[in-house]
Amino acid sequence: MRRVEHIMGLPITLHTPHGESGEVVFELLREADRRFSPFRPDSEVCRGEHSPELKEILALCAEYERDTGGAFRARLPGRPLDPCGVVKGWAVQRAADALRATGVRDFCLNAGGDVVAAGEPEPGRPWSIGIRHPDLAHEVCAVFEVRDRAVATSGTYERGHHIIDGRTGRPVHDLVSLTVIADDLTVADGTSTAAFAMGRDGIEWAAARPGCEVFAVDTERRVYRSTGTITV
């Protein structure tokens, strides 16, 4: 079973090799979009309401801001609150956890390139997660073979130089993509976004985070990678 919906401004794809529909995933992601999108005037973020869940998200934002020396910021000067750098990974991980709680053990949940890969697509074979080549849209530059892990990529090839270094207020220009593999997508997505905001220095910072592997490409097309599950 492969199901696709457009939520949070992204294509959300759920692949369940044993045919489960996974409706809980899409329900939770639609709810997260309604509640935490900075682009919906009736969301909690825009109304300034701080539910326990939003407090958890903002605490993660504050942690990354502290740990990156201010490179990552959910609120840039002159701009409204935007916790998107944390919300997507947090929401998708919660949806994956809810799916597991229903008894589904094998699935791949892909939210615009950020992935939770659980179990196996078939016995004895891991999930293969490809990372788009920075120059060739229909090619991959790396493949991760994973079981029960999460993969998140921040980059410029889809949305341009949209990630801002909060220390300077300017877009990051010395990286093309930075991918993090971790045990859950909350960590992988937040770490990849925060590290990208640091520029090239963020590669080493992300690789030093507990449980994180890193694959990155800079603007000179130099490749940096951790040892482990990455093949190029």
How many domains does the structure of the chain reveal? 1
Pick from 77, 112, 69: nearest CA to 201: 69
The average pLDDT across 50-67 equals 97
pLDDT at 231 > cutoff 50: no
The average pLDDT across 24-34 equals 98
CATH code at 114? 3.10.520.10
Residue ranges making up the domain that contains 14: 2-231
pLDDT at 110 > cutoff 60: yes
pTM of the model: 0.94
pLDDT of 4-25, one tens digit each?
Answer: 999 999 999 999 999 999 999 9
Q: Which residues contact 113 (CB under 8 A, 6 or more apart)?
A: 132, 152, 153, 158
pLDDT of 91-107, one tens digit each?
Answer: 999 999 999 999 999 99
Q: Using the 8-state DSSP alphabet, how is residue 78 labeled?
A: T
232 confidence band (pLDDT: 50, 70, 90): very low
Q: What is the SS3 assignment for 8?
A: coil
